[in-house]
Chain A
Amino acid sequence: MNNRIKIEMQSKPVNESFARSAVSAFIAPLDPTLEELADVRTAVSEAVTNSIIHGYAMGDGVITLEMCICGDLLTVEIKDRGRGIKDIEQAMQPYFTTGPEGERSGMGFAVMKAFMDKVEVFSKPAEGTVVRLIKRISSADA
């Protein structure tokens, strides 16, 4: 099955649960296992949270969630036009956070990497960030 959907949302924390629901609904036809579903929901939640609290730390913006299924391969892109990431490698280190005052765990990227097959990050300071999450959904072969 091939399919694609694109959603734009305001960078509000309340939309994190919407993004999770949207990706759940999108992959439902692939009949994912409960574990796969939880993995994808968690990774998407992390990426959207990052866009809201880091990308758009200075104010509201638009987050684009683009999801694509190609065969058994799920790709989710979370895109913002926020402040971008200065040092991607550093940002991806477990426990690294720029926002200790918000009691952030610094585990966002580590969780994405653990729960997805592949995580790609493209970012430019003052222009924005794209996080691409890729996962093979095992039951899609059936």
Chain B
Amino acid sequence: MIKLNYRISDAELTVFLKDEIDQNSAGPIRECIDCLVGRNRSVRKLIFDLSKVTFMDSSGIGVILGRYKLMAARGGTIGIANPNESIVKILRIAGIYKLTNKVS
């Protein structure tokens, strides 16, 4: 399994994603986040920090939507932090901002 940098403070888990998120990389990212969320039962907010992500296609949208469902099932929410302009474009098209809030 890949290792993601992350930070937990109170009930907030921030995962720091990097490089390119496509069908090829989505599976391991998903697995790693689910493991972190599963191990930390008190987490109520999952934040995707995308500052180091250079590319994301709809496979990344699938990852975010899946984690949204995961968090919603435990009464939690998700947030997106620091996406680049082209990622903002794809998040908007997919309606992700209706489910979440932007985190600066």
Contacts and interface: CB of A to CB of B under 8 A. Distances in A.
- Chain A interface size range: 20 to 34
B53 interface: no
A111 B58 contact: yes
A39 B90 CA distance: 10
A102 B24 CA distance: 12
Given A38-B86, A107-B93, A49 B23 contact: yes
A61 to B, nearest CB: 15
Interface in B31-85: 55, 57-59, 61-63, 65-66, 85
A39 B57 CA distance: 10
B22 A13 contact: yes
A138 interface: no
B12 interface: no
Interface stretch (A40-48, A65-73, A81-89, A124-132): A40-48
A13 B57 CA distance: 13
A123 B24 CA distance: 25
A91 interface: no
A42 B58 CA distance: 9
B57 A111 contact: yes
A70 B39 CA distance: 54
A105 B23 contact: no
Contacts, number: 69
B93 A52 contact: no
Contacts of A103: 26, 30, 62-63, 65-66
Contact of B62 (A16, A41, A42, A105): A105
B103 interface: no
Contact of A107 (B20, B22, B58): B58
A93 B89 CA distance: 18
B94 interface: yes
Interface of A: 13-14, 16-17, 20, 34-35, 38-39, 41-42, 45-46, 49, 52-53, 102-105, 107-108, 110-111, 114-115
Given A41-B55, A49-B59, A52-B23, 12 more contacts: A13-B23, A13-B24, A17-B20, A35-B85, A45-B57, A46-B58, A49-B23, A49-B58, A103-B26, A105-B58, A107-B61, A110-B93
Interface of B: 20, 22-24, 26, 30, 55, 57-59, 61-63, 65-66, 85-86, 89-90, 93-94
